[in-house]
């Protein structure tokens, strides 16, 4: 096993120009030792000719795996994982643009804690570039401000999915129940957490994602997403939405409760007065909201009633506020628990 390298696995189905843009960005911006493993899912002549050309380059280590039929993103990614002998594997969509320090920073975060097994970078998540700014400038600013920092999450997103070798050795490769793609990354994340690993988002790493470019070209993205969503929900159920209203009147271990729920992919909000200083875990599924002490109860009720996505359960350490929330239950429809 090569412990000083990351194998970057890129499943490819056509999109010659986007693929070239992705690979060019890797070559320009990657300082951590790497090899590129391209899994060509029966691309057409234009993309195939391009891949044949870059496979002959001597300035970069590239392995091409060719399929005579399109086996889909999950199976293609798994072919690349199985071909890898590196300490790290990064599954990367070909509709991405990596920026300076992207991989070095992700690996650095992974090495901060032996339990961190999977790492995502930050991204635009399909949104357009802000007017007057370049992607490289956005990335440089984030790296300067956030180098070495990370936020935990309960589910990594597969567009840029860094995996430690020991995770692969323990839980294997991506699930292949979802056809061409979507939700295999979430199921893999769940399995990793169930086996004692953590998932992190490197706050100083940035990868641009031109989302859904492959599937949008097929014209059946919505159908594919819904089909795979149904498969996933049948296995794991939907995420729930919890609210904890904490006024400092109860000594229950909110940190642990919020973290445990977040690790189960449940979105967890915490409302508290500005006078209460409770340091919550840094987790993508935990949202903390401080509100003024004056009229705090009334503000909580208004926010709850105005929220478009309803809470499933509301916990309050204040019996008086819990009683009021129960009175408003026909409007917010959440279960209300005191304590």
DSSP per residue over 200-262, as a string? EEEEEEEEEE-TTHHHHHHT-HHHHHHHHHHHHHHHH----EEEEE--S-----HHHHHHHHH
164 and 277 part of one domain: no
278 burial type by CB count under 10 A (0-12 exposed, 13-18 middle, 19+ buried): middle
pTM, two decimals, is: 0.92
* Last residue of one domain, picked from the residues 201, 236, 271: 236
> Using one digit for the tens of pLDDT, what is the confidence trace for 26-62?
999 999 999 999 999 999 999 999 999 999 988 899 9
Q: What pLDDT score does 288 carry?
A: 94
Domain at 245, CATH number:
3.40.50.2000
Question: Distances from the Cα of 144 to the Cαs of 135, 137, 140, 204, in angstroms?
Answer: 14, 11, 6, 7
Q: Give me the half-sphere count of Cα atoms (radius 13 Å) on the Cβ side of residue 293.
A: 5
- Secondary structure of 104-163 in the HEC alphabet? HHHHHHHCCCCCEEEEEEECCCCCCCCCCCCHHHHHHHHHHHHCCCEEEECCCCCCEEEE
Q: Are residues 96 and 217 in the same domain?
A: yes
Question: Within 10 A of 145 (CB to CB), how many other CB atoms are there?
Answer: 10
Give the pLDDT of residue 208.
96
Count of beta carbons in the 10 Å neighbourhood of residue 217: 12
The boundaries of the domain holding residue 283 are 241-338
75-99 pLDDT, tens digit each: 999 999 999 999 999 999 999 999 9
Are residue 40 and residue 75 in the same domain, yes or no? Answer: yes
168 in the same domain as 45? yes
């Amino acid at each position: 096993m090569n412990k000083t390298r990351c194998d970057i696995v890129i499943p490819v189905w056509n999109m010659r120009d986007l693929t070239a843009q992705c690979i060019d960005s890797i070559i320009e911006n990657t300082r951590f030792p790497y090899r590129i493993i391209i899994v060509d899912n029966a691309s057409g002549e234009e993309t195939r000719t391009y891949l044949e050309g870059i496979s002959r380059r001597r300035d970069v280590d590239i392995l091409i795996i060719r399929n005579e039929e399109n086996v889909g993103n999950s199976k293609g990614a798994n072919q690349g994982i199985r071909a890898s002998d590196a300490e790290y594997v990064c599954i990367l969509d070909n509709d991405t643009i990596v920026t300076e320090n992207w991989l070095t920073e992700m690996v650095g975060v992974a090495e901060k804690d032996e339990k961190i097994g999977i790492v995502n970078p930050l991204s635009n998540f399909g949104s357009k570039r802000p007017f007057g700014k370049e992607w490289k400038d956005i990335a440089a600013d984030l790296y300067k401000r956030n180098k070495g920092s990370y936020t935990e999450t309960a589910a990594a997103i597969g567009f840029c999915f860094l995996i430690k070798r020991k995770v692969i050795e323990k839980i294997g490769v991506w699930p292949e129940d979802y056809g061409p793609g979507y939700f295999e990354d979430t199921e893999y994340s769940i399995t990793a957490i169930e086996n004692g690993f953590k998932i992190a988002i490197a706050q100083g790493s940035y990868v641009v994602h031109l989302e859904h470019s492959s599937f949008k070209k097929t014209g059946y993205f919505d159908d594919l997403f819904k089909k795979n969503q149904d498969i996933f929900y049948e296995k794991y159920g939907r995420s729930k939405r919890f609210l904890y209203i904490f006024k400092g009147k109860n000594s229950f271990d909110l940190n642990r409760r919020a973290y445990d729920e977040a690790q189960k992919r449940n979105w967890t909000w915490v409302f508290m007065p500005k006078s209460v200083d409770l340091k919550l875990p840094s987790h993508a599924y935990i949202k903390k909201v401080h509100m003024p002490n004056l009229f705090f109860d009334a503000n909580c009720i208004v926010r709850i009633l105005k929220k478009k996505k309803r809470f499933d359960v509301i916990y309050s350490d204040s019996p008086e506020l819990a009683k009021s929330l129960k009175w408003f239950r026909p409007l917010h429809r959440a279960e209300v628990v005191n304590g």
